[in-house]
Amino acid sequence: MPEITNNIRRLRFDHNEMTQEELAQQAGCTRQTIIALEAGKYTPSLALAFRIARSFNCRVEDVFTFSEDTSTE
Amino acid sequence: MNAEQKRAWLGVVTMSACVLGYFVLLPLFGPVVATAAFAFYGINGFAGLIGRHEAVDERDTHIARRATLAGAMASYMAFVIGCMGTWFVVFAFQRQEQVWVHVLGTITMLGAIVFFFTRSVAILVLYGRHVEASDA
């Protein structure tokens, strides 16, 4: 099953300890969505993923990681 | 807790009050007067006053859409099963081929209550679970 993980929490602290509220304002979403993203409870749309990456001045791949579990049972 | 969750809690409380009130009034006054308990349903109208200026984003929209779909499915099933089930019970136990007219109103309200209750519960559940955006 494919899984998308993210480095948002680390990137926030790397960017002058940006608060969740600040990131939410820059990315155009709510703070609750940032909390859900950091907790791995939400997989964002492409548009939001790009906006978050733009907030950190980096590429989407630097924020989000796609890993596909190819193991068969 | 955001505005959508507060509205969902109001929905759960008012819909529970409707059902509870109906079953309290039913043995006391009969099935026609017991429908007065559905007046609690009107309190849900205040939901529009909760969080009017609060921002919503794609996650809120996506959760609301999924919850509405769940509510619509449950409501449709409750209405159809309620209609056919009532007719079956009346025919099977009382050998009547007609159903009392007030039953339709009760079943319609039941369908509406099931819709709002299911939608509210789904919203509360989905905010605690992993959700994927529709294009992810």
pLDDT at A72 over 60: no
Confidence of residue A58 (pLDDT cuts 50, 70, 90): very high
- Name residue, tokens 């905010």: B127
Q: Minimal Cα distance from B56: which residue of A?
A: A30
Q: Does B135 touch chain A (CB under 8 A)?
A: yes
Report chain B (136 residues): mean pLDDT per 10 consecutive residues. Answer: 90 93 92 88 87 84 93 95 89 84 88 94 89 62
Mean pLDDT (chain A, rounded): 87
pLDDT computed for residue A73 by the predictor = 47
As a whole number of Å, the end-to-end CA separation of chain B is: 25
| Residue B36 C-alpha from the chain's centroid | 16
Return phi, psi of residue B27, to 5°. -70, -20
Q: Which amino acid is at B95?
A: R
SS3 for A21?
helix
SS3 for B110?
helix
CB contact under 8 A, A36 and B57: no
Regarding an ipTM greater than 0.90, the answer is: no
- CB contact residues (below 8 A), chain A span 36-55, against chain B: 36, 40-48
Q: Name the token pair of A11.
A: 């990137």
